[in-house]
């Protein structure tokens, strides 16, 4: 069965600090997809990244970077030089399925507070 | 419109009443998903469609919940005989294609906040 664990419920940092949000997943499929979404205080869900199980290359996008390690079933998200606007709830998600669309399971989220 | 829309944005109903929540996906999107998000939790999968076909309804909590997408576009999630525990944000998402590929990001709507008194 699928499972996504975000052990950090809340994290509080001071602006310009780096912060890493942890995500550990469980799946029996060899083909799966991992995602990160951001939910700012306004409530919408904003897609950040999608990674498939065959691509373990880490990715950097501006101040955001993602570290995918199949050996530890982790897909961690790092924000470098955090800013107040990064304050939000961040969700990690997992999808299994090869054809016909896929069911996505979300973690419980990590609430990030960035203080000025 | 450019994004996924949902209506109503807010719904307050009395216990025992039926409610119908509407999702209008991005035009041309093949897949449509329904999620429920309780306060302080991540979205919980309910069901999804490819075109008009319901592919997986394993997340629907019980038989009071049903969903349809008769013409492969707009979808309706119906909750019969609502209970207080049904109170949550109900979110819809759509994606361009069925199956995994680089275009299969899910675009989320703003949600319908349901309150059952």
Q: Which residues of A touch B41 (CB under 8 A)?
A: 108-109
For B99, which of A44, A100, A106 is closest by C-beta distance? A100
pLDDT at B99: 64
Residue A100 pLDDT level (bands cut at 50, 70, 90): very low
Which tens digits make up the pLDDT trace of B40-62?
A: 899 999 999 999 999 888 899 99
Quote the pLDDT of residue B102.
55
Q: Write out chain B residues lying below 8 Å of A99, CB-based.
A: 98-99
Test the B interface: residue of A29, A45, A89, A100 with most B CBs within 10 Å: A45
Which pLDDT value is given to residue B114? 97
Give residue B103's pLDDT: 57
Taking CB atoms and an 8 Å cutoff, what residues of chain B touch A93? 42
Overall size of chain A counted in residues? 116
Across the range A48-57, mean pLDDT stands at: 86
Strands (E), B1-117: 5-7, 10-13, 19-24, 31-37, 44-50, 53-56, 65-68, 75-79, 88-95, 107-108, 112-116
Is pLDDT of A63 > 90?
yes
Residue A31's pLDDT is: 83
Is the per-residue pLDDT at B95 higher than 50?
yes
- The percentage of chain A sitting over the pLDDT mark of 90, rounded to a whole number, equals 67
pLDDT per residue over A16-27, tens digit each?
999 999 999 998
């Amino acid at each position: 069965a699928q499972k996504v664990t975000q052990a950090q419920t809340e994290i509080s940092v001071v602006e310009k600090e780096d912060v890493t949000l942890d995500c550990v997943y469980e799946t029996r499929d060899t083909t799966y997809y991992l995602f990160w979404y951001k939910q700012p205080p306004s409530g919408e869900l904003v897609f950040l990244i999608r990674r498939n199980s065959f691509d373990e290359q880490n990715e950097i996008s501006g101040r955001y970077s993602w570290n995918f390690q199949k050996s530890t079933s982790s897909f961690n998200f790092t924000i470098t030089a955090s800013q107040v606007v990064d304050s939000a709830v961040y969700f990690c998600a997992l999808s299994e399925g090869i054809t016909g669309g896929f069911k996505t399971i979300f973690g419980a989220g990590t609430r990030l507070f960035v203080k000025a | 419109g450019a994004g996924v829309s949902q209506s109503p944005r807010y719904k307050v109903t009395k216990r025992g009443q039926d409610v119908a929540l509407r999702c209008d996906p991005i035009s041309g999107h093949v897949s449509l998903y329904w999620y429920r998000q309780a306060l302080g939790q991540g979205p919980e999968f309910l069901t999804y469609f490819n075109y008009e076909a319901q592919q997986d309804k394993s997340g629907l909590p019980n038989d009071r919940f049903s969903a349809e997408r008769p013409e492969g576009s707009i979808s309706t999630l119906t909750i019969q005989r609502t209970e207080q525990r049904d109170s949550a944000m109900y979110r819809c998402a759509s994606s361009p294609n069925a199956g995994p590929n680089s275009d299969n990001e899910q675009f989320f709507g703003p949600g319908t906040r349901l309150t059952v008194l």
